[in-house]
């Protein structure tokens, strides 16, 4: 599982995963009503190096973090519009932490979506890295989002979860 720490005062993003520790500067921070938009350059890693820029939308009152990527034309993720990570937030002053609980939804530019890593969510729950309440809350949150996606649309759903300004900022990668 990955753990993110966002230091809004010092404009730093920290990522700790089983395979790496990353510390990177955040170029811009935007404050939307119930969320924070973070924008930064991509850093070279062991994979995903077709990414040029990344935007994250932190929603500390929800169980999701939204990410968009500016990529090269030959990128294997060039058709992604929004990547949704499900997890758990904690906030202490200007520090926001997000524990990624493995479940993801990828919204593509053609207005379709796919669920990823539900097997990893279940596996982490079974080995007790995710407690029962968090496990069921994540599944409930995912189900509610998917039902709303199907009834009112992908972008409209995410607009209701945060704001139109926040979602328009997130998907504008120009």
Residue 43, pLDDT score: 72
- Residue 53, SS3? strand
For the CA atoms of the chain, what is the radius of gyration?
15
CA 96 to the chain's CA centroid: 13
Q: Residues 55, 30, 172, CA angle at the centre, nearest 5°? A: 45
DSSP letter (8 states) at residue 46: S
Domain 3-171 has CATH 1.10.357.10: no
Q: Which residues of the chain have pLDDT under 70?
A: 44-49, 174
- 63 phi and psi, to 5 degrees? -120, 30
Residue 45, pLDDT score: 58
Span 22-66, pLDDT tens digits: 899 999 999 998 899 999 987 765 555 677 889 999 999 999 999
CA 119 to the chain's CA centroid: 18
Residue 57, pLDDT score: 98
Residue 165, pLDDT score: 96
């Amino acid at each position: 599982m990955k753990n993110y720490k966002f230091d809004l005062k010092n404009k730093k993003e920290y990522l700790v995963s089983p395979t790496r520790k990353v510390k990177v500067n955040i170029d811009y921070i935007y404050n939307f009503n119930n969320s924070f938009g973070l924008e930064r350059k991509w850093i070279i890693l062991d994979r995903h190096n077709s990414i040029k820029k990344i935007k994250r939308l932190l929603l500390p009152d929800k169980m999701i973090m939204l990410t968009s990527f500016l990529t090269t034309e030959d990128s294997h993720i060039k058709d992604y519009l929004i990547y949704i990570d499900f997890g758990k937030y904690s906030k202490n002053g200007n520090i926001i932490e997000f524990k990624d609980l493995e479940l993801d939804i990828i919204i593509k530019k053609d207005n379709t979506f796919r669920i990823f890593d539900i097997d990893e969510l279940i596996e982490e729950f079974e080995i007790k890295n995710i407690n029962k309440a968090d496990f069921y809350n994540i599944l409930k949150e995912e189900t509610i989002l998917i039902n709303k996606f199907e009834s009112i649309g992908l972008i409209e759903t995410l607009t209701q979860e945060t704001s139109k300004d926040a979602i328009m900022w997130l998907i504008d990668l120009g």
